[in-house]
Amino acid sequence: MGEVELSCLAYAKMYLHASQFPRCSVNGLLLSSSAAGGAVCITDCVPLLHTHLSLAPITQLALTQVDVWCSQTQQRIVGYYQANACASDSSPTPCALKIAEKIFEQCNNAVLLMIDGEKMFPGCRVPPIVMYERKDARWALKDKHTIMLRQWEETCSIVNQLFSSGDQALLVDFDSHLDDITKDWTNQKLNAKIMELVSPANGNV
């Protein structure tokens, strides 16, 4: 199918989310601020849960709220990501497939992204992600050559900088927001920090 481009901002936040809760499964939504049609540009993500991913109410609540926020900010939900608690297992769980299906109903080039825990170490040469797309009524592995992560080395260095400055602790997911609703699940502060680090020459959001 089509090409998928993953921005530094989206990648960095997913990575931070998985790193913040190493013993839990975590998930979140992938967003795009570009128009539908053509390549899918994942420009941002919203980290959702780190507890009880398979329970419905909070997932439904989060999906509704993110939907509302997207319409307020001209973004669309274009995919779903998940990192399993068991690092050696990067296969989609039933709940991952269910949520991805729901997203596919609204977005016909939706992607399902699984984070590969085993590749999450400093100096790893390949992005720790496995992507799936909807093909022939099932979710199939996407051809690696259609997935683009521009400025991969710069992205890695930005993630390292976030860890060394302690800014990774700024990340708020929806679960943490429910524990303390003064925390912002849209992560405006962290987004600003990351965008500062993204080089102006990059042009890519």
Partner 1 sequence: MRDKLRKWREENFRNSEQIVDVGEELINEHASKLGDDIWIIYEQVMIAALDCSRDDLAWSCLQELKRQFPDSHRVKRLAGMRLEALERYEDANKLYDSILQDDPTNTAARKRKISILRAQGKSSEAIRELNEYLEHYWECFLCSPFFLSLSFHSHSYAKAAFCLEELMMTNPHNHLYCEQYGEVKYTQGGLENLELARKYFAQALKLNNRNMRALFGLYMSASHVAASPKVSAKVKKDNVKYAAWAASQISRAYQMAGRGKKENKCSVKAVEEMLESMQITMS
Interacting residues with partner 1 between 68 and 97 (CB under 8 A): 68-69, 72-73, 85-86, 88-89, 94-95
Q: Does 140 bind partner 1 (CB under 8 A)?
A: no
Sheet with strand 40-42: strands edge to edge? 40-42, 4-6, 147-148
Q: Which residues inside 163-182 make contact with partner 1, applying CB under 8 A?
A: 177-179, 181-182
Q: Measure the CA–CA gap between 97 and 139, rounded to whole angstroms.
A: 8
- 139, 97 in Cβ contact below 8 A? yes
- 187 burial via Cβ count (<10 Å: 0-12, 13-18, 19+): buried
Choose between 89 and 143: whose C-beta lies nearer to partner 1. 89
Dist. CA 156–CA 149, nearest whole Å: 11
Residue 52 is a binding residue for partner 1 (CB under 8 A) = yes
If one asks whether residue 120 binds partner 1 (CB under 8 A), the answer comes out as no
Among 60, 160, 165, 202, contact with partner 1 (rule: CB under 8 A): 60
Least spacing, CB of residue 37 vs partner 1, in Å: 26
Asked if 65 interacts with partner 1 (CB under 8 A), we say yes
CA-based torsion, 73, 79, 84, 90: positive or negative: negative
* Secondary structure (3-state) at 197: helix
Applying CB under 8 A, does 183 fall inside the site for partner 1?
yes
Residues near partner 1 (CB under 8 A) are 23, 52, 54-58, 60-61, 64-66, 68-69, 72-73, 85-86, 88-89, 94-95, 177-179, 181-186, 188-189
